[in-house]
A = this chain, B = another copy of it.
Amino acid sequence: MVTQYLFGVPVETFAVTAEVPKGTELPYFSQEKGMTFTCALGAEDIVYGLGETMRGINKRGGRYISFNYDDHNHRDDMPSMYGAHNFIVVDGEQTFGAFFDTPAKVVFDVDSDGSGQLSVACESSDLRLYIVEGRGAYDIVRQFLGIIGRSFLPPLWAFGYGQSRWGYKTAREVSRVADKYREAGIPLDYICLDIDYMDRYIDFTVNRRRFPKMAEYTAGMLERGLHLVPIVDAGVKIEPGNAVYEEGVQNGYFCKNRDGRDFQAEVWPGMTHFPDFMQEKARAWFGGHYQFYTGLGLEGFWNDMNEPAIFSTEYRKKDAPPDADRGDPDQPDRHIADFKDFFHRLDDGRHISNYKVHNLYGAMMTRASGEGLSKLLDRRYLLFSRSSYIGAHRYGGIWTGDNASTWKMLRQNVYHMPSLNMCGFLYSGADTGGFGGNASRELLLRWLAVSVFTPLMRNHSAIGTRKQECYRFRNTEDFKTIISLRYRLLPYLYSEYMKAALRQDMLIRPLAFDYPDDKKAREIEDQLMIGESIMIAPILEPGVKGRIVYLPEPMTEVRYNREGFTCMDVGAGERTAMAPLNTVVFYIRQGRLVPVGEPVSNTAEMDLLDVELLGSGTVYEQYVDDGYTKACSLERCVLQRREQAEG
């Protein structure tokens, strides 16, 4: 049961799509000092949720600030990342969910001081607070997913493996990446184009010298089964002759500064204006401009710099020291004052500073793009964004931002996935191998073995770091093995994604959600449930060839290496599983099945129905479609039956 409690006159966030009955007496929380909500936690209570925040799956012990921010240094004590996902679930003496639906800053202190108190301080006194009650944490999350609308449905090719790097400067270089992958026999479905493809980093342009004849180039790649996925940044370059800039100025589609002029901020293209995505008309206008790309045959995009990130403004220089008036020592607020300096026009005519609706900016850009692409394309598009707010999950996925080539970030990827799923973001993944820093061969292989199981599986790295395309490392056969597992599992992974999305359920879950009465399972943070059949227990440390795994029930241990799948039934409890770098070990739940296909070099070659069944179950309900139809429904499921003789 979900109930909403209304405070003040909230700005419409579009996060909740269902009608939710209003309550009068807020349960669970005491309201203190204005808009601070507190709740005493039981000693053993676990707190879930909060999507893209640092630390583990159990958020207890930390302090988190919803205030979208671009900072690549993902320290453990970093309170704010790129997204604001204000949904938490307390699981213990009292079990309930709470969604603090406000686009302004919110500070979640989840018993960081050992006082046993959960405290949620909302900066705005205008908010909707949704309380979710149900039969345990998992049921509560499903109810929450039920009110925020169905997750984005990407095309099948978006579940393939993608290669990306900031620094692919020419079409020739991109082609070479494709060639090298083909030579190495490593499957590939798409290559992302970072800001390098643009003409001086201007949105809705292609540099004609470095990427000549883009439409033909895109078509040629598509014939090879490869999609190109360009980046789109939030800021529109201020430059006479730039049609998007001129239209935006003419129509008042840009954010304004205090004296009513269009607000200026320096980002990649130099000085830019920020589209006012809070305006419905501005969204339609910006989203419509994706026609530039779709006209070139492009169907996949990533939206970046939409926290929005700011290098400098008219008022504050690049690398200026943090604002002197920062009230909160934990808040990375170099540009707090900037966000207070520019204004949106809401569709009801009110003007409001970005600071007050800050966390919606990226989400509204995603919505603009998604709505535009829905109109422009007769098939499903790929879209993922850096910044987000709950609600944006209906229009696109997210990646977890500018991480680094560290073992800690690999571990954080594992922690992030279930928390993001709780907040609706099913299509997600990390920059595999790490964005900043230099990836070792070992780290990349172990990371790929995790990304095999995340919907977005993209290898991405920053300019200036060690190049990390798989073919650059020795023994590319090992990389081919791990990535081929992704493709062999796609009949399952695609099916489970679509079923989860269509049922408004989670795809990736903590063990505690499937085994709520197992005290040991409740403490496991480095193993995950992937869909209805699979449990993973990835290796997250350097230099080891195995790890200890906890099995809450007897399972089938599946070992995949270049010889293919080997299955072995193993009992419940703790066990050590060895997995050298070229091997992935995962588990299939008792009585469940996993359909696996043949090796392919990309999704265009796949026959989702030509599967073999692994595991001890008898029937698997497989979602199947052409990979791009918009008419997705659970009616597209077919039953795969294991022959009794085989069993």
- Residue numbers of A with Cβ under 8 A of B are 43-44, 46, 55-63, 75-77, 112-115, 329-330, 404-408, 411, 437-443, 466, 473-475, 478, 519-520, 523-526, 541-550, 573-576, 578, 580-581
Contact = CB atoms under 8 A, between A and B. Distances in A.
B56 A443 contact: no
Given A58-B544, A544-B523, A575-B574, A76 B437 contact: yes
B541 A526 contact: yes
A581 B114 contact: yes
Contacts of A114: 441-442, 473-475, 478, 581
B441 A405 contact: no
Contacts of A519: 578
A56 B437 contact: no
A106 B190 CA distance: 41
A297 to B, nearest CB: 37
A212 B319 CA distance: 40
20 contacts: A46-B543, A55-B543, A56-B543, A75-B404, A75-B406, A76-B407, A76-B443, A77-B406, A77-B437, A112-B440, A113-B441, A114-B441, A115-B474, A411-B541, A519-B578, A520-B546, A523-B578, A526-B541, A573-B574, A574-B576
Contacts of A546: 520, 523
A29 B443 CA distance: 27
Contacts of A474: 113-115
A179 to B, nearest CB: 22
A546 B522 CA distance: 10
A65 to B, nearest CB: 13
B329 A466 contact: yes
Nearest to A76: B406
A407 B76 CA distance: 7
Given A56-B543, A408-B76, A408-B408, A61 B441 contact: yes
Given A466-B329, A543-B56, A543-B59, A441 B112 contact: yes
Nearest to A437: B77
Given A77-B438, A112-B441, A574-B574, A56 B408 contact: no
A557 B25 CA distance: 49
A519 B576 CA distance: 10
B550 A548 contact: yes
A576 B543 contact: no
B520 A437 contact: no
A554 B377 CA distance: 64
Contacts of A442: 61-62, 112, 114
Contacts of A46: 543
A441 to B, nearest CB: 5
A123 B326 CA distance: 49
